Chain A
């Protein structure tokens, strides 16, 4: 009988049943038996390779990543709920996080209002004749600013307040200039 193929000898090494005639040949032929046994030794060496153990924290890492994905999918913020409960701050928006805070904006407006009031008061004090209708308009506008803030139009009120600062400054400067013009010329040597 001719020698069986190498594939047949590998099948024999893997424990598959060969046709009776082929199996009998393998057992009686030193060359075929040697080849089959070499296949068996290789298989045993491969099967004896040590198994690599997964890192102990691998399962936790997978589950944590999956939990994060699920939270994100149902709309829960990706932060840590426990930390949030303990008072950790929420993440700030990425755009201009400081300048648009309502408290800070309100502070600016109050400051501007105080400045306007001071300017108007100075105008009245130094040039009572010249301020007249300007003063009335300015004070009315200043009084309107808190109403605008109350209505939520903070940006509009801020712009208005800055305009009032400019108007009051003009009134003050013009009134002081008028006073200087009207003052008697002293006789100087």
Chain B
């Protein structure tokens, strides 16, 4: 039976380095996917995940087990992303070309392709969606990423963003409509 996140946290706080390795290996993948979809850059995503996991390890003693660890980790990654954007590129929107440009995967790359044709089609579609996502403001992009890419529930997103459940739904619905409009401007209809 797999060790739970909570058990890992307890072991790490007691100084077990192997537990730290397990936790980092378990969460670096999901956080990287989130970070990549938010930043559109493999390099930025790597830096973001590294900073976020380091912060998490440093402050693991402050983690409140009433929350899911995933919620706590995504919140750290989200706040780190906001801080970095504010510091590095204030008041600028993401570069759409760059946002879609790393999709071929200069790091680990996307997984799950089965044939060249299918890969090409999926890659084209995913690049268009990435471009459309880049046109959204951070708070709309993140809610789409969390709900559709990270498969978090409305409740988990509400906890993570510290907003009411109704606000999560309204924001998600608005974000999807904005994304649909952005896709239409790119002449793409799913």
Interface residues, chain A, with chain B CB atoms under 8 Å away: 6-7, 10-11, 38-39, 41-56, 58-59, 61-63, 65-67, 69
Contacts and interface: CB of A to CB of B under 8 A. Distances in A.
B100 interface: no
Given A44-B190, A50-B126, A53-B110, 15 more contacts: A7-B173, A10-B176, A38-B180, A39-B176, A47-B148, A48-B122, A50-B122, A51-B111, A52-B33, A52-B36, A58-B46, A58-B50, A59-B28, A65-B50, A67-B17
Contacts of A53: 29, 32, 105, 107-111
Contact of B28 (A46, A54, A69): A54
Contact of A59 (B24, B107, B149): B24
Contacts of B110: 50-53
Contacts of A38: 180, 190
Contacts of B67: none
Interface in B15-38: 17, 20-21, 24-25, 28-29, 31-33, 36-37
A34 to B, nearest CB: 12
B54 A45 contact: no
Kindly state the interface size class of chain B when it binds its partner. Answer: 35 or more
Interface string B163-189: 000000110110011011001000000
Contacts of B24: 59, 62-63
Contact of B32 (A39, A49, A50, A52): A52
A63 B176 contact: no
Contacts of B113: 50
Contacts of A55: 32, 42, 46, 107-108
A66 B107 CA distance: 22
Given A46-B148, A46-B149, A50-B122, A62 B54 contact: yes
Contact of A45 (B21, B170, B177, B190): B190
Contacts of A52: 32-33, 36-37, 42, 45, 105, 107-110
A180 B158 CA distance: 105
Contacts of B29: 51, 53-54
A39 to B, nearest CB: 7
A58 B176 CA distance: 32
17 contacts: A6-B177, A7-B169, A44-B190, A45-B125, A46-B144, A51-B33, A52-B42, A53-B109, A54-B28, A54-B46, A54-B49, A62-B24, A62-B53, A63-B17, A66-B20, A66-B57, A69-B58
B51 to A, nearest CB: 9
Nearest to B12: A66
A42 B180 contact: yes
A62 B33 CA distance: 16
A66 B54 CA distance: 6
